[in-house]
């Protein structure tokens, strides 16, 4: 893949100051940023605009999951913010995903539209607990098919599902993978993980990485080490 900015740093912070302390050290030519529910709820759209003014492309990770009309309108609002990528829960269904696609297609330069499949914090037992029998891989594949049919640009899945999804849907369908942990790093609440180099060699297009960078004693060194590990893949 030609995009050299594979790392998307998840800015999961409780306040603006520590987030900006990291952002100040990052190079928008080397990585992208993800703003999720915590920071967006605290700081709102103006923080996203601030990051964009500094030259960063932003993945707005709000995982919209609602009726089609509401999700389509929320995606349009994200597009108005100028974000690079936005996402919806694929389990919201084909009509919801198609409504988001149709709304974004009315725009000149829409953000990438990505479907969240099975959260990387879930394993087979967790899926069974919410009434979904089968393996995470089977469910990811089923949701990936629905997402592609609805015209999504790609999906969020764990690195473990990258090869089977690409084998069926090809390499142009974007695969965005959280659940990335450098060797020896704490998995925390993530259950389906691989190292950054393993994820990229499996075929992941973008790696979402939070705590291994943001909670490292020296976040910038952690980021550069991960970046370096990808250059030899």
Ligand X SMILES: O=c1ccn([C@@H]2O[C@H](COP(=O)(O)O)[C@@H](O)[C@H]2O)c(=O)[nH]1
Binding residues: 12, 34, 61-70, 120, 181, 190, 210-211
CB 36 to ligand X: min, Å: 5
By the criterion CB under 6 A, which residues form the site for ligand X? Answer: 10, 12, 36, 116, 119-120, 156, 178, 188, 190, 208-212
Write down the least CB distance from residue 39 to ligand X, Å. Answer: 9
User: 127 and 170 in contact (C-beta within 8 Å)?
Assistant: no
* 65 versus 102: smaller Cβ distance to ligand X: 65
Nearer to ligand X, 68 or 178 (CB): 178
Nearer to ligand X, 38 or 49 (CB): 38
**Closest residue to bound ligand X by CB:** 210
Binding residues for substrate: 12, 34, 61-70, 120, 181, 190, 210-211
User: Which residues belong to the active site?
Assistant: 61, 63, 66
Secondary structure in 3-state letters for the chain: CCCCCCEEEECCCCCHHHHHHHHCCCCCCCCEEEECHHHHHHHCHHHHHHHHHCCCCEEEEEEECCCHHHHHHHHHHHHHHCCCEEEEEHHHCHHHHHHHHHHHHCCCCCCEEEEECCCCCCCHHHHHHCCCCCCHHHHHHHHHHHHHHCCCCEEECCHHHHHHHHHHHCCCCEEEECCECCCCCCCCCCCCCECHHHHHHHCCCEEEECHHHHCCCCHHHHHHHHHHHHHCC
Cβ-based nearer residue to ligand X, 38 or 102: 38
Q: Smallest distance from the beta carbon of 18 to ligand X, in angstroms?
A: 14
Cross-strand partners of 207:
7, 177
């Amino acid at each position: 893949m030609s995009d050299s900015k594979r790392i998307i740093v998840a800015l999961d912070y409780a306040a603006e100051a520590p987030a900006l302390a990291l952002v100040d050290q990052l190079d928008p030519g080397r990585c992208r940023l993800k703003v999720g529910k915590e920071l967006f709820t605290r700081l709102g759209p103006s923080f996203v605009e601030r990051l964009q003014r500094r030259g960063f492309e932003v993945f707005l990770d709000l995982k919209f999951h609602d009726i089609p009309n509401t999700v389509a309108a929320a995606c349009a609002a994200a597009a108005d913010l100028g974000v690079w990528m936005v996402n919806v829960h694929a389990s919201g269904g084909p009509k919801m995903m198609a409504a988001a696609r149709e709304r974004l297609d009315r725009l000149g330069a829409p953000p990438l539209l990505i479907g969240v499949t099975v959260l990387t914090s879930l394993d087979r037992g967790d899926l069974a607990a919410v009434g979904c029998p089968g393996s995470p891989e089977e469910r990811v594949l089923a949701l990936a098919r629905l997402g592609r049919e609805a015209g999504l640009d790609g999906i969020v899945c764990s690195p473990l599902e990258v090869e089977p999804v690409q084998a069926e849907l090809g390499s142009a369908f974007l695969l965005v993978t959280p659940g990335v942990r450098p060797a020896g790093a704490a998995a925390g609440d993530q259950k389906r993980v691989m190292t950054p180099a393993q994820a990229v060699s499996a075929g992941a297009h973008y790696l979402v990485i939070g705590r291994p960078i943001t909670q490292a004693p020296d976040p910038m060194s952690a980021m550069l080490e991960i970046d370096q590990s990808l250059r030899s893949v």
